[in-house]
Amino acid sequence: MSARVKIRRRRRTKIIATLGPASSTPEVLARLFQGGADVFRLNFSHGSHDDHYARIAMIRDLEEKFDRPIGILADVQGPKLRVGRFQAGRVQLQTGQKFQLDLNPTPGDVTRVNLPHPEIIAAASIGTSLLLDDGKLRLRVVRVRDDHLETEVTVGGPLSDRKGVNVPDMVLPIPALTPKDREDLAFALEHGADYIGLSFVQRPEDVAEAKDIAAGRAWIMTKMEKPQALDNLDAILALSDAVMVARGDLGVELPPEEVPLAQKRIVRAARQMGRPVVVATQMLESMISAPAPTRAEASDVATAVFDGADAVMLSAETAAGQYPYEAVNIMDRIVARVEQDPGWRQTIETSRPAPERSAADAISAAARQVAHTIGASAICAFTASGSTALRVARERPEAPIIGLTPAAETARRLALVWGVHAVVTPETHSMTETVTKATRISLQEGFSGHDTEVVVIAGVPFGQPGTTNALRVAHVK
């Protein structure tokens, strides 16, 4: 039995693991992959380009060793808004006191601090809320001047140097890509990242800019972490290749009771448009320092699976935690167990979006229905760009999806997509050759046994992207 068959996933929902100090050796990386990680995330908020280059090299070595495509998500930092420094390094703000935010670079005290973002001062108005240190402190603007804001502390607490500022009430005239992001993006594209995580998106134009830079070399994954992005959800999704429910910053800027509803809304909209959707942040947070998750965390992962997310993501759990392998392993077990439950399949069936009015959608919907009716062992989707496999995945079929593609970069991107087992194989030139290859690979990869049937979909003429228009039922001999 080949190494590929040994690590074939027994679940549809994929797992993303973030790399960091706790997971940057070939041995740990291999354990994470074997334990269930389908895609590895590189967080460009931390580490040097040399660090990320070394991790990319290890991932590609691992890919070659196991002969399986592995996706790489390069997550750029985005525009981080921060206050300046304090004379004593930190102050204690009291609820009800006045506090000034200004453009003066002099270290602050208990009455004021530098806010090196004139765009915030320009956009603010009386009543605007400012959240500091991941929302632990809250200020309300009471007076606006050209060079400073006078605020009242509505929730006090300790505030130290360079803590973050969130502005949930306003759209800021700042790009989603900073000069640092542009350097990181160029590096990630040069070294073969498959997805670019785009942080702090506010407007569709932010996504369009990143797509222009990527120019098809990677898929753009928009991170939904700003209320302003939710106001433009459909337009942003239309431009995005994938989307992430980034609940960390989203949970800072939205009231806690709104975050679960936002998650469901984003997942539902992404599934409707056929965009891969990831649920991320604090999924197994306690496993940073504990060998097992809380029951609430297990339920959180299960909820994302029931919602129909393409993937769930681990952040600090695998990047800096004490139990990176255990975190991946238990997430794999939770996902697999949920997908064995009859209630999960029933939920997926009732939440399936209607097919769009296109030949590709009609063929994909028919493939799911035919596979269900005949009990097919797999749906084999031949795809150059990945769009055919995405359309089949949108249907959430019972049968496993084998994504057959001549492009290694497409196979790596499909590593993130629900239910898709991607295989790199040379292009076919006729339907007979396509069917023969589909049955052979389905057998080799362990999806089909002898005397079973598979559903094959492809585009005619062959080699022309976006022409999914043919369906065949084939017998595996």
Active site residues: 41, 82, 223, 281
| Strand residues in 185-292 grouped as ranges (E) | 195-198, 219-224, 242-246, 277-280
Question: What are the C-alpha distances in Å from 361 to residues 128, 237, 251?
Answer: 45, 18, 35
Instruction: Please list, residue by residue across 69-91, b when 16 or more beta carbons sit within 10 angstroms of its beta carbon and e when fewer do.
Output: bbbbbbbbbbbebbbbbbeeeeb
Residue 11 falls in which region: left (phi positive, over 0), alpha (psi -120 to 50) or beta: beta
Contact 177, 208 (CB under 8 A): no
Q: Hey, which residues does 330 pair with through a beta bridge?
A: none
In the numeric block, the tokens 């959608």 are attached to 361
Cis check: omega of the bond before 461, within 30 degrees of 0:
yes
Q: Buried b vs exposed e over 125-137: b needs ≥16 C-beta within 10 Å?
A: eeebbbbbbebeb
Residue entry with tokens 């949108």: 394
Which residue has tokens 């997971």?
23
Asked if 393 and 401 count as a contact pair (C-beta separation under 8 A), the reply is: yes
Six-digit token string for 322 = 């004490």
Start-to-end CA distance of the chain, whole Å, equals 19
Q: Which residues of 430-452 are buried (b: 16+ CB within 10 A; e: fewer)?
A: eeeebbebbbebbbebbbbeeeb
DSSP secondary structure string for all residues of 28-46? HHHHHHHHT--EEEEETTS
Q: Is 477 exposed, middle or buried (0-12, 13-18, 19+ CB in 10 A)?
A: exposed
CA dist 313 and 300 (Å) reads: 12
CB 198 within 8 A of CB 115: no
Burial of 419 (C-beta count, 10 Å sphere; 0-12/13-18/19+): buried
